[in-house]
Amino acid sequence: MPLAITRSVGPRFNECEITHIERTPIDLDIAQKQHRGYVDALKKLGCDVLELPAESNLPDSVFVEDTAILLPEAAVITRPGADSRKPETESIAQALSAHRKLLYLREPATLDGGDVLVVGKRIFIGLSTRSNNEAVVQLSELLNEFGYTVTGVHLHDCLHLKSAVTRVDDKTLLINRDWVDTEFFADYELIAVDPSEPYAANCLPIGDAVIFPASFPKTRGNLEARGYKIVSVEVDELAKAEGAVTCCSLVLDR
């Protein structure tokens, strides 16, 4: 049974970092309600959920994905690119220490977990405003013994690599071709987002289902037409903080 680690939306969520979208007011009550719905979806799909308490002084800390990379062999604790987010890793490392060997990135590497796409033994790192090439170098060194290859990928017009492309399964990726060069993913079947839904490339596979935002019905139809079971969640208020469905959990296979 998978273990999903989540963290509640904090009281200062409106002070979150914003990079690629215009800041708009976030309704904290709605954001918290949507996050509870997301956690409920994880539970319904068979996850044990470790719900960490809100971090009152860390506005972005609900987005736990950015703090770690989870692999069967180890967990890599990241160094988030925004200085305001670097303290988020401490409590996540503590929570993960009971489940995985911990490895750490060190200065000058910066890396948000949202820039990390793991597909089998291949790891793609988005070279974004938050993640740099030194992270690619260090990850290659840390994970070489486990047989992983690590590749840096250029992207544009979006915050993270997983804003542009995510794993549906080990052979299939969901992608916005306008935000990332598809040549890096030539070995996979690519499902394109609907052109009217550029932010729809972020999905979260859990078991035989895929958690997907309710805001993107056309892309959902593309996935369902290919036989994928979709579990819709409302996350549009979380998206005002540049969040998406992968951002709000760290999922460990046990």
Residues 224-236 pLDDT 10s: 999 999 999 999 9
The CA distance from 153 to 180, in Å, is 8
pTM over 0.85: yes
- pLDDT over 90, % of the chain: 99
Contacts of 26 (CB under 8 A, 6+ apart): 13, 14, 16, 237, 240, 241
Q: Give the number of other Cβ atoms within 10 Å of residue 253's Cβ.
A: 9
Handedness of CA 146, 152, 155, 159 (dihedral sign): positive
What is the set of active-site residues?
Answer: 160, 247
Encode pLDDT of 118-138 as tens digits. 999 999 999 999 999 999 999
Q: Which tokens sit at 234?
A: 């409302």
Q: Which residue has the tokens 């796409």?
A: 117
> Is the Cβ–Cβ distance between 210 and 174 less than 8 Å?
no
Q: Report whether CATH 3.75.10.10 matches the domain 3-252.
A: yes
In 3-state terms, what secondary structure has residue 39?
A: helix
Where do the H-state alpha helices sit in the chain? Answer: 28-44, 89-96, 133-143, 161-164, 217-225, 236-239
pLDDT of residue 254: 84
* Domain range annotation of the chain: 3-252
Weakly modelled stretches of the chain, pLDDT under 70: none
DSSP percent split of the chain into helix, strand, coil, nearest 5: 30, 25, 45
CA 202 vs. chain centroid, Å, equals 8
